[in-house]
Amino acid sequence: MTGPVVTVRGLRRSYGPVVALEGIDLDIQEGEVVALLGPNGAGKTTTVEILEGHRRRDAGEVSVLGVDPWRAPSSWRYGIGIVLQEASDAGELTVLETLRHFGGYFPSPHDPTDLLRKVGLAEAAGRRVRTLSGGQRRRLDVAVGVVGRPRLLFLDEPTTGFDPQARRQFWELVRGLRDEQGTTVLLTTHYLEEAEALADRVVVIADGVVRADGDPATLGGRMSGEATVSWLENAEARSARTADPGAFVNELVARLGPSVPGLTVSRPRLEDVYLDLVGGNKP
């Protein structure tokens, strides 16, 4: 199936006098990986909890897998998977026992042995959960999140505390879920590099509203904004910002020859665009 998995229109939520969401609109298509970015207090957690059916909204329309999550029947939860930032469990169970346990809640779960192979934990099947490394633990969390074959997977800060190698291994796992199983993913993260590496679309929320929604490569006019051209001239490092880097480079070539020393052309980074959108707040 193709089409919207999530549709949100005019979503509003307040906590007493504090307005958390002021009219969010959002669409997520089948098979997309969407990263939800924003500073602390922006409304990310409230939005996700409403989509998961864990929090009531004040106003607006919300459809997740074709159903209002707040009024959804229990069977609706078979279609979603949730991987929280921190999970508690029976650490004395083995990895395989844990996956079999959670798979028992679903009508048509993945084969646990096959799923452990797909997430790279086949050799750890007999180990107790408490003995796993952080990266292995996170892989098990994802396996638990997808054991019921969800169409939509929520990932909340999935690689917090990971070293760079473990983070990249986790990214490959998420890409595999999308490419091999068609899983739709809604990701919240503080790592802009992670959003750029994984997401088909980035949605930036600040002060309870959507500030930008688009491809991470073009978000906020990244490809149309001014570029920075850097080069060496007379052994001195120089740089300039320009809206037409091609013409600027041609001028350098005409003056300095076809091999301009140290020539680089860079567009604004996702971090630069993000900080502009949220007014300088960190994610």
Pairing of strands 4-15, 227-233: unpaired
Query: Does any domain span residue 283?
Result: no
On whether both 122 and 193 belong to a single domain, the answer is yes
The per-residue pLDDT for 147 is: 92
**Buried b or exposed e, range 56-81, using 16+ CB within 10 angstroms:** ebeebebbbbeeebeebeeebbbbbb
On whether both 170 and 49 belong to a single domain, the answer is yes
On whether both 241 and 178 belong to a single domain, the answer is no
Query: Does any domain span residue 231?
Result: yes
Query: Does any domain span residue 280?
Result: no
State how many domains the chain has: 2
- In the three-class reduction of DSSP (H, G, I as helix; E, B as strand; rest coil), residue 264 is classed as strand
On whether both 248 and 195 belong to a single domain, the answer is no
Query: Residue 280 burial (CB < 10 Å; 0-12/13-18/19+)?
Result: exposed
Query: Does any domain span residue 279?
Result: no
Q: Which value, to the nearest 10 degrees, does the dihedral of the CA atoms of residues 32, 36, 274, 225 take?
A: 20
Among 220, 249, 277, the domain boundary falls at 220
For the domain that residue 23 is a member of, what is the CATH number? 3.40.50.300
Query: Does any domain span residue 271?
Result: no
On whether both 213 and 232 belong to a single domain, the answer is no
Query: Does any domain span residue 281?
Result: no
On whether both 52 and 156 belong to a single domain, the answer is yes
Tell me the pLDDT tens digit for each residue of 62-107: 999 999 999 999 999 999 999 887 666 667 899 999 999 999 999 9
Query: Does any domain span residue 277?
Result: no
Among 195, 220, 245, the domain boundary falls at 220
Mean per-residue pLDDT, 264-269: 82
Tell me the pLDDT tens digit for each residue of 203-250: 999 989 999 999 888 786 666 667 889 999 988 999 998 888 889 999
On whether both 83 and 50 belong to a single domain, the answer is yes
Are 167 and 159 in contact by the 8 Å Cβ rule? The answer is: yes
On whether both 113 and 207 belong to a single domain, the answer is yes
Query: Does any domain span residue 76?
Result: yes
Tell me the pLDDT tens digit for each residue of 238-254: 999 888 888 999 999 99
- Domain of 118? 4-220
User: How far apart, in whole angstroms, are the C-alpha atoms of residue 209 and residue 222?
Assistant: 21
Q: Is the pLDDT score of 54 beyond 90?
A: yes
The per-residue pLDDT for 245 is: 87
On whether both 78 and 112 belong to a single domain, the answer is yes
On whether both 161 and 254 belong to a single domain, the answer is no
The per-residue pLDDT for 1 is: 46
Tell me the pLDDT tens digit for each residue of 141-193: 888 988 999 999 999 888 877 778 878 888 888 888 888 888 999 999 888 88
On whether both 163 and 234 belong to a single domain, the answer is no
On whether both 93 and 115 belong to a single domain, the answer is yes
